[in-house]
Amino acid sequence: MHKCQNTRPDPIIAFDVYGTLIDTTGMVELLRKHAGNLAEPLSTLWRQKQLEYSFRRGLMRAYRDFRVCTSSALDYACLTFSVSLSEDERNMLLEAYRKLPAFGDVSAGLKQAQEAGLRLFAFSNGTASDVGQLLDNAGISGFFLDIISVDELHSFKPDPSVYHHFLSRANAKGKDAWMVSANPFDVIGAAAAGMQSLWVQRSRELIMDPWESGPNLTISSLAEVAHVIAGWRNNQQQNP
């Protein structure tokens, strides 16, 4: 991957990874062997606690990387549903979490965004090595100029400092940088830190938190990214 550079006037796009590019529900089938019909709710709780633990650690200034949050959350979910795992089974699931699949719309959407001249970065709570493994496994790493991880700052989204860190690393101003995420907390966090924001609403049942800051735009598929950002820019130029 190339180092962060900003030599063209095209917008910079920060793509969230877990839940936006990479489908965290891809663990459900693996969990069926251990949890049976409880696999889906266990997977959901695992993801919820993973994020909660990152929020807690960010607030407590008790940083451990995202792998620790993921591991602790798996233990909590298994305790909740009385699912027993051997050490080998637990390690296998945690390793599989680093090889989750991309959503079906990701590759084509990234290609369109790249061809439209947008500068694409992966921006994640995960460590750069784990995110790199995920992107490589999904066959999409070549679309990104760089991976920017909150691990470099030892905090987590939605701490405003991590969004400012992204802007610094990508050599961008907030008005020229977009956060593209399916996670409402990430969209709100980026908007509050001065970035433009684009919410990927992957299901009609999902709702955006009714806060004072929110997305500039909402889409249902990454295939819309290049088109809607181009339209938004044209509208801003015509109505400054």
In the chain, the N- to C-terminal Cα span, in Å, equals: 36
**What is residue 213's predicted lDDT score, i.e. its pLDDT?**
86
In this prediction, residue 228 has a pLDDT band, given cuts at 50, 70 and 90, of very high
Question: In 3D, which of 1, 4, 12, 17 has the Cα closest to residue 126?
Answer: 17
Domains of the chain (ranges; CATH) run 12-23+101-238 (3.40.50.1000), 24-99 (1.10.150.240)
User: Over the stretch 16-30, which tens digit does the pLDDT of each residue have?
Assistant: 999 999 999 999 999
User: Over the stretch 65-75, which tens digit does the pLDDT of each residue have?
Assistant: 999 999 999 99
Evaluate the CA torsion angle 163, 132, 92, 21 in order and state its sign: positive
At residue 2, does pLDDT exceed 80? no
By CB atoms closer than 10 A (0-12, 13-18, 19+), residue 233 is middle
The whole-angstrom separation of Cα 199 and Cα 212 is 15
State the catalytic residues: 16
